[in-house]
Structure 1
Amino acid sequence: MANPIKVVLVEDSAIALQILHRLIDSSPEVDVVGTAQDGADGLKVIAQTMPDVICTDLKMPRMDGLEFTQKVMSEFPRPILVVSNTVHPADVDNIFNLMQAGALDFFPKPTSGSAMDYEKLKNSLITKIKVLASKKV
């Protein structure tokens, strides 16, 4: 079996971080190798773990997802999946800015007790991570 895809999670919400961690860890093909609460810490974690894919929130203290994405692309270019509730198709400006900065895809932030089907959510997230891991940035 190939090595699992290494993922770093950057998310300031402890609940969202826990849910994402659980979703990703439920797949043998993907492994969370580090987490951070904001972009500044995220850059340190990335330097230490050199992940294949980064999942980041958009709205965070100290360094938001947009600035974080720009810094990652200049220092450690790798695929970025933005996990946020502020990137709906209606948020064209956010999406455009993030894509321009180098983010490759978006995923709605899971919420605790969300009515979304857990398996469907997990499969969708794992599929996105696997696709991104195959992209060269």
Structure 2
Amino acid sequence: MRARPTIRALVIDDSAYSRQTITRMLAASPLVEVVATARDGEDALRKTLELRPDVVTLDLEMPRMDGFTYLRLVMAQCPTPVIVVSGRGGDADVFKALDLGATDFIEKPTPHATPELESIRD
């Protein structure tokens, strides 16, 4: 019997592959329920305000509204723990995301997902 989920997650990424991979990894934990996914920052902000997830995974490069803008807006309107999962791993991007309120930064998964990403479900 699956334990009742205690952590409600929102997965934000413009890549369908990344959304599916991250969702599958998080859903493998009996303590995590992925309540929604979003493909851009505008959709993500709307879903964050509506669903009030416990944690968000966030890509930085997305159409219509990028991850940095989403971070600024969500921290002002509905502060939520955000883990950035991005291929933009340069120091400047990492520090900018952390300065805007992200709680952690993890490299985006590849076809052979990294142990760091798998650790966020634990």
TM-score when normalising by structure 2: 0.90
Q: Who is 2:83 aligned against?
A: 81
SS in 2 for 1:126: coil
> Is the 8 Å Cα contact of residues 82 and 102 (structure 2) preserved in structure 1?
yes
Q: Between Structure 1 and Structure 2, how many residues are aligned?
A: 120
Q: Which amino acid aligns with 1:100?
A: D
Q: Who is 2:62 aligned against?
A: 60
> Is the 8 Å Cα contact of residues 24 and 122 (structure 1) preserved in structure 2?
no
Q: Per-residue deviation at 1:108?
A: 1.4
Q: Who is 2:25 aligned against?
A: 23
Q: Which runs of 5+ in 1 are unaligned?
A: 128-137
Match of 1:124 among 107, 119, 122: 119
Distance 2:54 2:13 in 1: 17
Q: What percentage of aligned pairs have identical amino acids?
A: 37
SS in 1 for 2:21: helix
Q: Per-residue deviation at 1:78?
A: 1.1
Are residues 1:94 and 2:93 paired? yes
Deviation beyond 2 Å, 4+ runs, structure 1 = 120-123
SS in 2 for 1:8: strand
SS in 2 for 1:54: strand
> Is the 8 Å Cα contact of residues 8 and 35 (structure 2) preserved in structure 1?
yes
TM-score when normalising by structure 1: 0.81
Q: Per-residue deviation at 1:125?
A: 2.2
Cα distance change of structure 1 residues 97 and 121 upon mapping to structure 2, 3 Å threshold: closer
Q: Which amino acid aligns with 1:9?
A: V
SS in 1 for 2:83: strand
> Is the 8 Å Cα contact of residues 109 and 117 (structure 2) preserved in structure 1?
no
Distance 2:107 2:98 in 1: 16
After superposition, the C-alpha distances for 1:49-101 in whole angstroms (9 at most, x for unaligned) are 110111100111111111111111001101100000112xxx12111111111
